[in-house]
Amino acid sequence: MAARLAASGVEVVIGSRSEERAAGVVAGLAERWAGRGLPLLPGDNRTAAKADIVVLATPWEGALGTVSALAGELSGKILVSMVNAMVRWGERFVPLLPPTGSVAVAVAGAVPGAKVAGAFHHLPAGPLGDLERKVEADVMVFSVDRATTDEVIALVGRIPGLRGLDVGGLGSALAVEAITPALVELNRRYKAHASLRVTGVG
């Protein structure tokens, strides 16, 4: 996601618990896409939390701990969760139901001062990370208010081939997050990189 946004002209700070680890990720992306001049910067999580829009892209187990430690820095910021709670059950991935009903709602409870939104849940990682490939998909966006949703949709629209769609408030989070394991299974069974397209809109 960081490389894709950077390739679209968005300056991105990649955060990690250690700035050295983030610097390694940035160096790897710069080497892979040498010549593109990607505007990527490394930082620790507190540095990344100073961005105008913050994207939470951790494993689901670490999401609440990460944002809770940054509650002060995230106050007043747009915080976009792309986290899906799922687990392998035998050979399959299945969704988990957090006590709050969704990861995004749990994040909103952990950082009540942030303007929490959800987006980017259903994009296949392989094609998304390959800047030579065009990604075409609809991105379902939900948030605490319409203004936040509009800003996130505008960010989605910076990436060629992606269209952001307003699917309502945080009450939509469970439905959006829970469909991800089904897409993982779809891709596994058909050896594909499927994403979502919504018909009849626009």
Residue 198 lies in a domain: no
Which class for 54: exposed (0-12), middle (13-18), buried (19 or more C-beta within 10 A)? buried
Strand partners, 54: 79
Higher model confidence: residue 54 or residue 202? 54
What is the span of the domain harbouring residue 144?
Answer: 75-190
Q: How many domains would you assign to the chain?
A: 1
Digit-coded pLDDT (tens) for 126-163:
999 999 999 999 999 999 999 999 999 999 999 999 99
Residue 33 lies in a domain: no
Residue 102 lies in a domain: yes
The CATH number of the domain holding residue 87 is 3.40.50.720
The pTM for the full model equals 0.95
Residue 170 lies in a domain: yes
Residue 156 lies in a domain: yes
Residue 9 lies in a domain: no
Residue 87 and residue 180: Cα distance in Å, rounded?
11
